Amino acid sequence: MNKTDQILLIACGALAREILALKAANGWDHLHLHCLPANLHHYPDKITPAVEKMVAERRDEFADIFVVYADCGTGGMLQAACDRMGIRMIEGPHCYSFFEGNDTFAALDEMTAFYLTDFSVRQFDAFIWKPLGLDRHPELRDMYFGNYEKLVYQAQLDDPALTKKAKACADKLRLPFERRLTGYGDLSKAISNN
Amino acid sequence: MSDEDEIILADLDDEELVQQMFDDLYDGLKEEIEEGVNILLSRKWIPYDVLTKALVGGMTIVGADFRDGILFVPEVLLAANAMKGGMAILKPLLAETGAPRVGKMVIGTVKGDIHDIGKNLVGMMMEGAGFEVVDLGINNSVEKYLEAMETEGPDILGMSALLTTTMPYMKVVIDTMIEQGIRDDYIVLVGGAPLNEEFGKAIGADAYCRDAAVAVETAKEWMARKHNNAKSA
């Protein structure tokens, strides 16, 4: 591998499939993906140290590193760490925003929407239902979701099977269902800049 | 479990019962907690002691185990729900018996934020610690906070946010308080998952509280300072 043009993408595991799809579709062979566990999403305070550790371990192997996490609940800590380390990261508050397109998402102003992506639809039980304890204690539903008014499925792929599953997730959470085909949104553009 | 193994709460002496209530709270058993509260009251315990010795004592263990990564959010919510059941019985009695009041807090999530789990836990623990809590609910504008401060006259303003996009609104509230010359009339505590101590300082809050137990301790400390300052003034 010629280090001079190779770039490491340190990404959230919830984006692995999408990044690999973009990489394959565009022939971005110089990009190398290393994912951190998607369940860090549940512990945002662990994201920044995990990224810092990965950068320290692998930065000598690559010409550059791009972090494919948005702020993701780190409260600006991840951006500050990236600035310190001299590396870039994707813009936006979270993946729901950059899938929609950060500007579009901000303009939507959907405070009471709960979002699912292709990843969280596929992994709904393992990633949402069980970690929130709803499999064991469905009575907690109102404490978690009582203030939400709809579930928005941001579809990356136009897949009827996933849409059906997303609708079932909305039913399970007792929320009205809405689907928007976002595609990869700003993710594609951000990765293409590398 | 056989009938022989079943614990009859009414058969336990006070010390055993409180210990059992700690376990029941830990396991989120609301009905058992309600029963335990009623038993202690029937034994002539004063409501304030039931609250502090049985319920708050139990929730303190839950809080510590949450911080240490032994318990997770679902278990904490179940415990909180059980405590809420006990509190519902005690609240009117506490009002009647004139329990000591440590201070008063107005609390709410900031504009644009509907995530109230943390705010609700803080509110409940603050009540348990003897604070009067005025819960403004979710999605509060600066005007709503200011109005509540004027009408309720709290010692403490508590603001909560879960989103990176909504947490800067806390600064809008504090800056408005400064503009109106009322900032120093209140203790301002902030909390929420994406916040940290640095952020709390940067926006001009008095303290960032990482969880409900810390919020209670911080509130007590600041109330003590306030009293000391008032005495020395």
Mean pLDDT of chain B: 93
- Cβ proximity of A91 and A102 under 8 Å: yes
Among A63, A90, A117, the domain boundary falls at: A90
Domain boundary among A68, A90, A112: A90
**Quick one: closest CA in B to A134, which residue?**
B74
Does A84 lie in the same domain as A10?
A: yes
- Number of domains present in the structure of chain A: 2
Distance from CA of A119 to the nearest CA of B (A): 21
Nearest residue on chain B to A142, alpha-carbon basis: B117
**CB–CB contact B77 A94 (8 Å):** no
Task: Indicate whether A62 and A39 sit together in one domain.
Answer: yes
Comparing alpha-carbon positions, the chain A residue that sits nearest to B27 is A137
**Contact residues, chain B, for A137 at CB < 8 Å:** 28, 74, 78
Report the predicted TM-score, pTM, of the whole model to 2 decimal places. Answer: 0.89
Measured between beta carbons, which residues in chain A are less than 8 angstroms from residue B72? 131, 133
Say whether both A10 and A59 belong to one domain: yes
Which residues on A lie below 8 Å from B112 (Cβ)?
Answer: 111
Asked if residue A80 and residue A132 are part of one domain, the reply reads no
For residue B4, pLDDT beyond 60:
no
Residue A95 inside a domain? The answer is no
Q: B113 to chain A: which residues are within 8 Å by CB?
A: 111
**Chain A residues touching B85 at Cβ < 8 A:** none
Q: Domains in chain B, start-ordered, CATH in brackets? A: 1-100 (1.10.1240.10), 101-233 (3.40.50.280)
pLDDT at A193 (0 to 100)? 87
> Where residue B38 falls among pLDDT bands split at 50, 70, 90?
very high
Write down the H helix ranges in B129-168: 142-152
A32 within some domain: yes
pLDDT tens, position by position, B48-98: 999 999 999 999 899 889 888 899 889 999 999 999 999 999 999 988 887
| pLDDT of B233 | 62
Tell me: pLDDT of B137 over 60: yes
Q: Searching chain B, which residue's CA lies closest to the CA of residue A74?
A: B194
Say whether both A17 and A85 belong to one domain: yes
Residues in CB range of B227: below 8 A, 6 or more apart: none
Instruction: Say what the pLDDT of residue B95 is.
Output: 83
Query: Both A176 and A139 in a single domain?
Result: yes
pLDDT for res B1: 44
Q: Where are the beta strands (DSSP E) in B192-232?
A: 207-208
Range among B44-53, B138-147, B211-220 rated most confident: B138-147
* Residue-range definition of the domain harbouring residue A142: 103-181
Confidence at residue A112, expressed as pLDDT on a 0 to 100 scale: 96
A17 & A69 share domain = yes
Which of chain A's residues have a Cβ under 8 Å away from the Cβ of B211?
Answer: none
Q: Does A115 share its domain with A81?
A: no
Residue B3 has pLDDT above 80, yes or no: no
Q: Is residue A47 a part of any domain in this protein? A: yes
Amino acid in the structure at residue B135: D
Closest residue on chain A to B138 (Cα): A147
- pLDDT at position B128 is 86
When scoring B164, B165, B199 by the number of chain A Cβ atoms within 10 A, the one with the most, hence best to mutate, is B164
pLDDT (tens, 9 = 90+) of chain A, 194 residues, equals: 566 789 999 999 999 999 999 999 999 999 999 999 999 998 899 999 999 999 999 999 999 999 999 999 999 999 999 999 999 999 999 999 999 999 999 999 899 999 999 999 999 999 999 999 999 999 999 999 999 999 999 999 999 999 999 999 999 999 999 999 999 999 999 999 88
Residue B128 · residue B47 · CB < 8 Å: no
Measured in angstroms, the CA of A184 and the nearest CA of chain B are apart by 21
- Tokens (6 digits) for B8: 């009859």
Q: Does A123 map to a domain?
A: yes
Torsion of CA B14, B16, B18, B23, to 10 degrees: -160
Among chain A, residues having any CB pair with chain B shorter than 8 Å are: 44-45, 71, 73-77, 93-94, 111-112, 131-134, 136-137, 139-140, 143-144, 147-148
A119 and A157 housed in the same domain: yes
ipTM rounded to 2 decimals: 0.86
Which of the listed residues A35, A58, A90 is the one where a domain comes to its end? Answer: A90
Looking at the fold, whether A107 and A138 belong to one and the same domain comes out as yes
Residues A9 and A42 in one domain: yes
Q: What is the CATH number of the domain that holds A16?
A: 3.40.50.510
The position carrying tokens 């058993």 is: B29
Contacts of A133 in chain B (CB under 8 A): 72-75, 77-78
Q: Which of A71, A73, A137 is nearest residue B74 as measured by Cβ atoms? A: A137
Q: pLDDT digits over B181-196, tens only?
A: 999 999 999 999 999 9
Let me know the angle formed at the C-alpha of A183 by A178 and A186, rounded to the nearest 5 degrees: 115
Of chain A, the end-to-end C-alpha distance in Å amounts to 17
Count of pairs with CB atoms under 8 A, one residue in A, one in B: 63
Instruction: Work out the pLDDT band at B2, boundaries 50, 70, 90.
Output: very low
What is the distance between the alpha carbons of residues A55 and A65, in angstroms, rounded to a whole number? 8
